[in-house]
Structure 1
Amino acid sequence: MSKDPLIIAFDTSCDDTSVAVLRGRRVLSSVVSSQVEIHAQWGGVVPDIARREHEKNIPLVYEEALRKAKVSIEDVEYVACTYGPGLAIDLEVGLKFAQDLAIKYKKPFVPVNHMEGHLLSGLLLNSNGNGLVRSNVESLFPALGLLISGKHTELIYVEKIGKYVKLGETLDDAVGEAFDKVGRMLNFGYPGGPTLTEFAKKGKRGKITFTIPMKHSNDLNFSYSGVKTAALYKTKELREEYERDSEWVYDFCRGFLDMIIESLVIKLTKAIEKYPEVKGLFVGGGVFNSEEILRKVGQVARKNGFKYVYPEKEFRGDNAGMVGIAAYYAILNKKVLETPSKILSIDREPRLSL
């Protein structure tokens, strides 16, 4: 491919309506319409409300992404969209819009696994072509991937782009869910994770501690439903002992965050010991918005001499830029659909796995 392809990418897997335009790995525009404030009053994402908001927002976000990229739909060469995993009725909105667009303008269509987008998000470049990995992407493999989002906590072995083996995953709640559920116990509102990690900065390490889940298991799986129960009992005890939450909440958040980080580091270290040939560590997902989690995981990578590949902050949560980078590599590998019947054969897959 002599010239990098111009791609428009869509993501409506949860509560953000996202559209991005990329030239190869370079992000020309990335527009996200967030619904956080709408869902906050319900304490979490309500799929039907999210669907209605997606339907209302997607034409506007699409136009804005094209305008910011200074291109027209006629200029675009490929249309890409997340088809899973995610909330079924929300995935459907973006998928239908993107499929209709590809067919109407006779553009090849690229269906993208949302989790592959998170995995490859650290390979995105800005519009000037600057980023963490500017060249020699192939030299990073084989690699490990650690994906931590609202519904997913996964360890992936990456032989090369497009060839993955899942080494471990959560057996119940994901890290993001644990943060939000514990945040709710602490009356932080939705989403609770960002407040919890912020409060942890003011807490004293070791004053309140939590047992690290799956610490002694020989596999690479995670589990966080037990820590949620432990947190519930601990908040009840503390509220009986103290008059005000402010007397213990910072130390509580410090202890909870330390436990989460330690649980991730233990499994990551085990994976590194098991696969000594690994050269790089790719991370992605909204939980990496916590700079402390990002830094602590990075220390493990650097201690082992790995290249640490992580996305810029705007591409850590759900976004269409990451869908575009996954689509770019799919295009290079000729994994595109060109006829209307093949394009329409792609259906939403809420439980899609890497």
Structure 2
Amino acid sequence: MKSILKITLPAFIGLASMLTACQSEPEVGTPLYTVAETSNLPKLYIHDLANQGNKGELNVVNANGELIVKKDTVEFYVRLSSALDKDLQVSVAENPSATKTDGAVALDKGAVNILNPTVTIAKGALVSTEPIKVVAQQGAALDTLLTSRSNGAVTLTLNAAQGVDVASNYGNMNITINYKESNLVDDGNTDGLTAMSTSDYWVVDGYNSAVNQLTDGSTGAYNMWWNYVSNGPFTFVVSFDNPTLISAFEVLPATGYTNWTVKTLTVETSKDWITWTKQGEITNSSANIANANPFVVRFTKPVNCQYIRLTNIKANFSEMLVIGELNVYQ
């Protein structure tokens, strides 16, 4: 006896709906839901042990309204995750849209000069044959710092190259341009300058008392100036008969008391003893002190003044400050 399957209309509709639902959500990997392929191409990236986190630094100084670019260079290599069977030329370019400021000002294109924007990774090699070199560059983009009076930020990005992919996390070099306001040259010298006669200037302390030991021409123990650090901080003022264009001055250590010399000081200048202009703060290097060399304070731009005030003078030694002589240069 043959069985006859009877399906009512409501049951048939329910069955059709179930079949349709099962067919509407194909699994990932089917032709309807393809999986994005991961590229097997070698990865191009920036990662240099000398630049932790792909970060570099350049320095500029605002010297009385003029932005001075320091002689710094950021260098970094470009790398491949696996070698190619041919030479590969790779390049970088400024990319302001990718700049992360971290409190600095994002600078427009032109703030830096990429000295060699294109380098080569040789056949079979993983690293570019030479580093990319970058320096700060004078111009409108960099002059933004004169207004913001803060650090600047620049980002360089790897350009695409045929046959490779740029690694997503290592395609940028982030450069901070450190901004400083100072008219003083670090580790300065007196090259090309003329020493003034000690009869053309005199020195007083913070109490306006004459300090003849600093202009007597001797750094010997019987002619040196000294005081206990506990009596500081100390102030000296160098005075001239008339406003004079000054390029530098130097503090000489006393003979036999090298380690007791000046470590740091602040420099101000004035034409009338009323209005003072801060020229900057400066530190005597440890090497300079160890070699008993003069502590040269040179102005980036010579200053026309009648008075030079040295304040916040701190000693290299914890107990005494000892100074042999103070010379002035034009």
Same fold at TM > 0.5: no
TM-score by length of 2: 0.27
What TM-score do the two structures reach when normalised by structure 1? 0.26
Choose between structure 1 and 2 for higher RCO, CA contacts under 8 A separated by at least 6 residues: 1
Normalized per residue, which structure has more strand? Answer: 2
Higher helix proportion (structure 1 or 2) = 1
Structure of larger gyration radius: 2
